């Protein structure tokens, strides 16, 4: 037993997500991100994927029982301030995660509705996605779909500002309170305009019906592996640190932009981004 307790403890953040052994996405990205913000990082694995910067070649999923035992062990011991979920590949795992959230009520819950890898590998099937919508959307403080994810969830093609508003209303009708639509997949946040000199990456944050748009320079790069995981994990960390949602998203968006700007050139495909501030120049 540790008899000397520090006055101020770092907030504990937990991720329930998949393992990307090449370290770009999934729980490794989440852990690095929590640590970068001075939070204490914990993780439960939902799936061991086989992947690198080129693609995802397969996965072995965990059982609901395994996810339950990993998560329960942590929640029974630590006061987990923020929980972030990533790849939840099966309906039974999603139902279990919903049960765990209800049982332990972490202060902040960020649900990243991971659907497909950048390289096109399905990380969840349609039946499980339905369960995710039904069971996890109502428990989340924030959901963070990117444009392809929002399109798959709602069936609405996101080509204009109005489409984004409509799709968000749809996701809120499904039970999500607050929605961040990540615009990195389209050059101006809505429609991909070729030849646009000042491209912007626009994220749309809806807190209930109130919209805040975050703009950053769109960086032309293939080093994008792990951006979605990192953004959602950074938001969870900043909520755990006590920031309100708008400030947490702003800090996290700037963090990801900087991580893309200073990304190493690793691997033969989409390089991971730079989540370690100490190696930024």
CB of 267 to ligand PXL, least distance (A): 13
Q: Which is nearer to ligand PXL, 59 or 241 (CB)?
A: 59
56 makes contact with ligand PXL (CB under 6 A): yes
Q: Which residues contact 61 (CB under 8 A, 6 or more apart)?
A: 46, 47, 89, 90, 93
Q: Which is nearer to ligand PXL, 26 or 184 (CB)?
A: 26
Does the annotation count 168 as an active-site position? no
Q: Which is nearer to ligand PXL, 44 or 241 (CB)?
A: 44
The residues in 16-45 that bind ligand PXL, with binding defined as CB under 6 A, are 17-18, 20, 25-26
CB of 5 to ligand PXL, least distance (A): 35
DSSP count for the chain of H helices, then E strands: 8, 9
Does the annotation count 33 as an active-site position? no
Nearest-angstrom CA–CA distance, 80 and 240: 9
DSSP 132-182: HHHHHGGG-SEE--BHHHHHHHH-----SHHHHHHHHHHHHHTT-SEEEEB
Residue 249 contacts residue 227 (beta carbons within 8 Å): no
Question: Containing H/E element for 97?
Answer: helix 91-104
The residues in 59-98 that bind ligand PXL, with binding defined as CB under 6 A, are 86-87
114 makes contact with ligand PXL (CB under 6 A): yes
Does the annotation count 154 as an active-site position? no
Does the annotation count 229 as an active-site position? yes
Q: Which segment (15-23, 188-196, 203-211, 242-250) binds ligand PXL by CB under 6 A?
A: 15-23
> What residues are annotated to the active site?
182, 224, 226-229
């Amino acid at each position: 037993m540790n008899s000397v307790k520090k006055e101020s403890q770092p907030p504990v953040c937990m991720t329930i997500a998949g393992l990307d052994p090449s370290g770009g996405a999934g729980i490794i990205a989440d852990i690095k991100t929590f640590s970068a913000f001075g939070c204490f990082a914990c993780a439960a694995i939902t799936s061991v994927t086989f992947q690198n910067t080129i693609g995802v070649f397969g996965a072995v999923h965990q059982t609901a029982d395994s996810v339950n035992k990993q998560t329960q062990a942590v929640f029974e011991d630590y006061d987990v301030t923020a929980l972030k979920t990533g790849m939840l590949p099966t309906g039974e795992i999603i139902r279990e995660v919903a049960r765990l959230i209800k049982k332990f009520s972490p202060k902040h819950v960020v649900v990243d509705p991971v659907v497909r890898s950048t390289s096109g590998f399905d990380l969840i099937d349609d039946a499980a996605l339905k369960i995710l919508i039904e069971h996890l959307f109502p428990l989340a403080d924030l959901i963070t779909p990117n444009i392809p994810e929002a399109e798959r969830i709602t069936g609405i093609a996101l080509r204009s500002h109005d489409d984004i508003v409509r799709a968000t209303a749809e996701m809120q009708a499904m039970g999500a309170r607050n929605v961040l639509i990540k615009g990195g997949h389209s050059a101006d946040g809505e429609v991909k305009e070729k030849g646009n000199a000042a491209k912007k990456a626009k994220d749309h944050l809806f807190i209930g019906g109130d919209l805040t748009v975050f703009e950053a320079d769109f960086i032309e790069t293939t080093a994008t592996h792990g951006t979605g995981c990192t953004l959602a994990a950074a938001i969870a960390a900043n909520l755990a640190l006590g920031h309100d949602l708008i400030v947490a998203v702003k800090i996290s968006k700037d963090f990801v932009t900087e991580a893309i700007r200073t990304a190493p050139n690793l691997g033969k495909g989409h390089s991971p981004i730079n989540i370690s501030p100490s190696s930024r120049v």
